Structure 1
Amino acid sequence: MLLEASTDQRRWAKFFPLSREADFLQQMRDTIESIPGAYAMILSSLDGMQLASVQSGQSVNGSRLAAITGSLCGLGETLGKELGQEHFRDVLISTESGIAVVQRLPAPGNRMVLLTAANHEANVGIVSAQSRFCAQALSLMAFMSN
């Protein structure tokens, strides 16, 4: 599968060492490849700025999606609190044509949000679990010493 990967280096440097860029993108590529039907993964800041993206086939507007996912993550957290449910994990969107999982990275990377998008043939459990594993790995990688 041919994957396009990119980062916004100016924003990237506010969160991660530039020397880790290739490792992050490889983790995201590996995750997309491990999810049958997955076609995009966007890493963004909580305030909606795109940090990195990996896409295959279906082109998506990463900057626009980063802004949406930042807001959606905040709404999910607020909804959970209003319902008396703690420890927000993710927001799942399921449509006739696909699945999107939006999740806040766990601490220490909890200032970031990860979006994973897959087509309608994808398994919701696999998309959610693999996205969570990727979010955990990215969070840990963000604060490892070089």
Structure 2
Amino acid sequence: MSVQRANVSNDLIWQITRNQNAYLVRRNTAGGSQFSRDPLNLVNKHSFKYAGYANNKAVGVQSAENGAVTVITKKPGNPQQPAQNQVSVTYGSKTATRKIYKGVASKTAQHGYRADVREEAVARVSALRRSQQPKKDTPASKPRGAQARKATEASE
């Protein structure tokens, strides 16, 4: 006995959920901007192109513990089982950034898998790696001019 599965198009899912979903964030400032908290959304922009829940093929990049980066992809094969559809690959903190770029680019390029979001995925990895680097200590600026004279007079 075979089970019939209903095929629902990505466009229909987007049309139904675009005005109200769990990931939608609306801001009244800046002209009523709309953002998304979807983990499979690379730029956090509320649009069909980047909506991971509405597309069969989606890519997400998130930071993990200890400076690691996790790349999440969605398998297009079985949309009825969303918990089993996500494949995550974690790159450790010691992994070279260029190796992560190559992994993300190859993941989005294989067999026509969302090559339109390749640049955004690599940019997201770059931003995450940059934010995970320790901040450089900047020395305190030396007082100059009148402030320097005041400082020397006060110390004497």
Same fold (TM over 0.5): no
Higher strand share: 1
* TM-score, structure 1 as length reference: 0.31
1 or 2 for the larger relative contact order (CA 8 Å, sep ≥6)? 1
What's the TM-score once normalised by structure 2's chain length? 0.30
